[in-house]
């Protein structure tokens, strides 16, 4: 494994910790802000189509537990305990590399794809809100979602610390118009790199046939890189990645591709 991949793996491992505790935070215990905020002006997160993030969407192991990311979240519902996280994590990176803002309507979930939009109902008082999942957690037994401070305040969870909730994923279809589609990134799976053009071309053709996907080569500095794609759907990209890993190409990975081939 080269140095860049080692550093990437290390950074990803840190981000996957999400709202779990670690020594990188200035506070040992999580707390609410000193000045409570009014939530009257806060609106629910507005569901919209977003391509899945490159960061935070791979299956992972944390504290000895294996977590498998949901591949198709349409119709997903879950019941359990909600908790919240606040000042300790404010300003730090979420699992997909965004900055956590405790005053925004966001949340963390262990396995939903990032980002996802979720309707949360506090079944103890029937209050509801919509949040955008952009982080991983909570890693405590029985808890299914970690709400931002603002979302917890809207649902009246701050007083009790936890609450019984039901969560429902809100799915938004990808826009069909060509000009809107062109604004979204393309993804590719980089399978292998070789100095041998003939072997790389043969592998590209073989994988395209076996997996029924497009493939292509890119050459720079006398190195030939085999790619699958491009894909406009991250879920399909993830499926192709899993397939090539089963075929033995365990170092394959997903990356964004600037233009369609």
Q: Which domains does the chain have, with CATH numbers?
A: 3-170 (2.40.40.10), 184-257 (3.30.70.1070)
Phi, psi of 24 (to 5 degrees): -85, 0
209: enclosing H helix or E strand: helix 197-211
CB 49 within 8 A of CB 127: no
Q: How far apart are CA 42 and CA 113, in angstroms?
A: 24
pLDDT in tens, the chain (261 residues): 444 433 343 444 445 545 654 555 444 455 556 666 666 667 899 998 988 988 899 999 998 999 999 989 999 999 999 999 977 777 778 998 898 888 889 999 999 999 999 999 999 999 999 999 999 999 988 899 999 999 999 999 998 899 999 999 999 988 876 666 676 778 899 999 999 999 999 999 999 999 999 999 999 888 999 999 998 877 788 889 889 989 999 888 888 886 544
Q: Retrieve residue 101's tokens.
A: 């803002």
From the CB of residue 63, how many other CB atoms can be counted at a distance below 10 Å?
Answer: 7
CB 134 within 8 A of CB 106: yes
Beta-carbon contacts of 209 under 8 Å, excluding residues fewer than 6 positions away, are none
CB 113 within 8 A of CB 57: yes
- Determine the straight-line distance between the first and last CA of the chain, rounded to whole angstroms: 28
């Amino acid at each position: 494994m080269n140095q860049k991949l080692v550093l990437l793996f290390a950074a990803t491992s840190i981000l996957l910790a999400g709202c779990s505790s670690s020594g990188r935070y200035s506070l040992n215990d999580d707390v609410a802000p000193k000045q409570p905020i009014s939530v009257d002006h806060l609106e629910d997160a507005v569901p919209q189509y977003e391509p899945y993030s490159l960061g935070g969407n791979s299956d992972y192991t944390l504290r000895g537990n294996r977590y498998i990311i949901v591949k198709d979240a349409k119709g997903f519902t879950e019941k359990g305990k909600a908790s919240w996280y606040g000042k300790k994590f404010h300003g730090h990176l979420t699992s997909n590399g965004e900055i956590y803002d405790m005053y925004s309507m966001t949340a963390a979930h262990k396995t939903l794809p990032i980002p996802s939009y979720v309707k949360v109902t506090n079944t103890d008082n029937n209050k509801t809100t919509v949040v955008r999942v952009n982080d991983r957690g909570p890693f405590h037994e029985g808890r299914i979602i970690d709400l931002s401070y603002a979302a917890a305040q809207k649902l009246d969870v701050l007083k009790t610390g936890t609450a019984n909730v039901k969560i429902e994923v809100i799915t938004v279809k990808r826009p069909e118009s060509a000009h809107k589609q062109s604004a979204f990134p393309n993804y590719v799976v980089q399978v292998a790199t070789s100095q041998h053009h003939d072997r790389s071309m043969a592998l590209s053709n073989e994988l395209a046939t076996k997996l029924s996907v497009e493939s292509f080569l890119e050459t720079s500095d006398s190195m030939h890189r085999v790619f699958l794609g491009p894909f406009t759907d991250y879920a399909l990209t993830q499926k192709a990645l899993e397939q090539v890993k089963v075929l033995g190409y365990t170092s394959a990975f997903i990356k964004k591709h600037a233009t369609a081939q």
